[in-house]
Structure 1
Amino acid sequence: MSENSNDQTSKPTMGEQVKSSLTELPMDMLKSQLRELKDAAMGRAVGHAKGWVDNATDRLNEVASGERDVGGVLGRSASKAGEEAVEGGSPAKGALKGALSGVKDKVKDAIPGMGGGGGGGGGKATKSTNFVDSIDVGVPVHVAYNQWTQYEDWPDFMKKVETAQQEDDEPKVDMKAQVFWSHRSWQSTIKEQIPDQLIVWRSTGQKGHVDGSVSFHELAPRLTRILVTLEYYPQGFMERTGNIWRAQGRRARLEMKHFRRHVMMNTILAPDEVTGWRGEIHDEEVTKTHDDAVAEQEQQEQEDQEQEGQEQEGQDQEGQEQEGREDEEGRAAQEGQQEEGEGQQEGGEQSEDEANGETDEEDSDLGEEQEKSEETGQQDTTEGDDEGGEEPEPESDGEDELTGEEPPAEEDTDASESDEARE
């Protein structure tokens, strides 16, 4: 075991082996090679820098002599640097501005549809971005129209609109909005405007403009659809760059959503406080001012109220007349019933009187017959006594007198015989 331990202690470690290998390398040769590589790299860099400086100097000389167009990046840089130096400013700052201006022109020339107008972007725009969309708001059509035409409220709920103002009774609307980090202004001229129906406009601006129309459609008494159609003509570097991915269309759609949110959250609470602009415009001329339109509307509402009041009075009067006729008919029917009842009662009394009269006549007839029968009986008795005592026939029972029935036929025979006897 002692021999094994001695073998382990005598074996060199990894670090010792690496160190011994490095000591065996030719370090002097390696160091010399590294020095030569460094000198070569420095010489090459200096050569490139010298060539770049010489090239720049030649270009500046060409610019100064008029042999090179100043519209390039370096030309713009040198030109702006010289202007800043003459004005007492910083040449470096001027060179930077000139270089950025040259790069901007290069990009405009490289992208199709963005060239041809110079650095100021003042050329006429030839390509437009079309935008068509609609929103539904839960208010009557006149409330939606009034809020739309109250342009001074737009910056309160639209994110990128900075100012919006319409001149008094003029078909002009001045707008200012933010495009990326730039601020753009334009003026819109209203060609046609009919309250609660449509607005059509054209606009002008240094960095592009927007033409379009908006129409209002009543879907229900408390539901309105707003249809917006836009033609955006970008002009300028930032506008054209944003137009590549249709940023303006997305922004317009978002602003419409902001309008709907404002109407449904604020305008709906106090719709009468939003007056808008109720005038009319035809062929870019104001044919009816806002005050005239409001006065006419108030007069129309007053006439409608008066007409409704008259119609209501007529309906009330007609209802009263109808009630009077019904009352008269009811009274007439009641009187007729009473007269009919009285007639029936009189008829009943008359029938009773007639019945009583008939009864009295029958009683009198019975009495007369009874008297005649008695007289006849007495005569028969007298004759019987005279003829030898024939027995008279028995008289009728008292029931006949009580019932009022006529005597039997035999009594009539006896009466006739007695009459013959008297004769």
Structure 2
Amino acid sequence: MTTKVEKTVVVDVPLSTVYNQWTQFEEFPHFMGGVEKVTQLADDRLEWVAELGGVRRQWVAKVLEQVPDHKVAWAAVEGATNAGAVSFSPVGPTRTEVHLEMEFEPEGFLETVADKLHIVENQAEHDLENFKRFIESEGYETGAWRGAINQGATVRTPGVEDAASSFGDAGKVGDAGEREAAFRDEQGIEDDVTGNPAAGEERVQDDSGLDGSGLKATDAATAFGNQNLDSDPDIIRREGGRA
């Protein structure tokens, strides 16, 4: 079951300044709680690492529409399923309304519980308030990108159906040790500090280092940690800031 979040904040800063600051996507961790890192892969691609509902998640968002001083709309194409839009409108010569609409798909027990407790919705409200304080305290943007993406296409506010390519891809982030620990917990397998098998667990191994299946554990080593987008040759990263 998807969840929709809709929040608005009025910022006491002119429209262009507010919009310009929002386009500095890599600075989002300064005011967005739980967001660890945002990397601009291309003009229309952003890689996110964040904690959602107590789970570290990763996703790549595609910007579907970007109109200067008006709108930024996106949908995930990999990882955690989410989509939405942020719109900007003037409220007088020195005030701007920022309106966020977002839809996401909770995955797993922790995120479902967080959804029922409205944790993500509350976080979105706090993030907008933090952005307001951030830009009002500066009084000016730290950078700007005035380029447009699909301007004139009149893309509606995207929903999770626009992020269909990410369905079933939890985008969970973790190293091999974390995944192995989670697997052993699920199986009820424990080792003591000497590395001996836990009670009730039997291991078959001969001098060749093969277990009962005829395979070594190291034969799967190339799969460890194989969730890193850096290894994808089709992704070209952009170096440096945007101004």
Partner of 1:358: none
Structure of higher CA gyration radius: 1
Task: Please give the alpha-carbon distance, in whole angstroms, between the structure 2 residues aligned to 1:134 and 1:148.
Answer: 14
Aligned partner of 1:246 among 118, 122, 130: 118
Aligned partner of 1:173 among 46, 49, 55: 46
Question: Going by fraction, where is strand more abundant, 1 or 2?
Answer: 2
Q: Which AA in structure 2 matches 1:246?
A: H
SS of structure 1 residue aligned to 2:105: strand
Q: Which AA in structure 1 matches 2:4?
A: N
Q: How does 1:254-403 map to 2 (within 5 A)?
A: 254-266=126-138, 268=139, 271=140, 274-282=142-150
Aligned length: 154
- 1:211 Cα deviation (Å)? 0.7
Partner of 2:75: 202
CA pair 180-212 structure 1, distance change in 2 beyond 3 A: closer
- 1:128 Cα deviation (Å)? 1.1
Q: How does 1:10-409 map to 2 (within 5 A)?
A: 127-168=1-42, 170-206=43-79, 208-266=80-138, 268=139, 271=140, 274-282=142-150
CA pair 180-232 structure 1, distance change in 2 beyond 3 A: closer
Q: Which AA in structure 2 matches 1:212?
A: G
- 1:160 Cα deviation (Å)? 1.1
SS of structure 2 residue aligned to 1:248: helix
- 1:230 Cα deviation (Å)? 0.7
Task: Please give the alpha-carbon distance, in whole angstroms, between the structure 2 residues aligned to 1:242 and 1:156.
Answer: 23
- 1:181 Cα deviation (Å)? 3.8
SS of structure 1 residue aligned to 2:143: coil
Q: Which AA in structure 1 matches 2:142?
A: V
- 1:250 Cα deviation (Å)? 0.9
SS of structure 2 residue aligned to 1:196: coil
- 1:209 Cα deviation (Å)? 1.9
TM-score w.r.t. structure 2 length? Answer: 0.59
Unaligned residue ranges in structure 2 (runs of 5+): 154-241
What RMSD, in angstroms, separates the aligned Cα atoms of the two structures?
2.2
SS of structure 2 residue aligned to 1:220: coil
Percent identity between matched residues is: 29
Unaligned residue ranges in structure 1 (runs of 5+): 1-126, 286-293, 295-423
Q: Which AA in structure 2 matches 1:153?
A: E
Question: Going by fraction, where is helix more abundant, 1 or 2?
Answer: 1
TM-score w.r.t. structure 1 length? Answer: 0.34
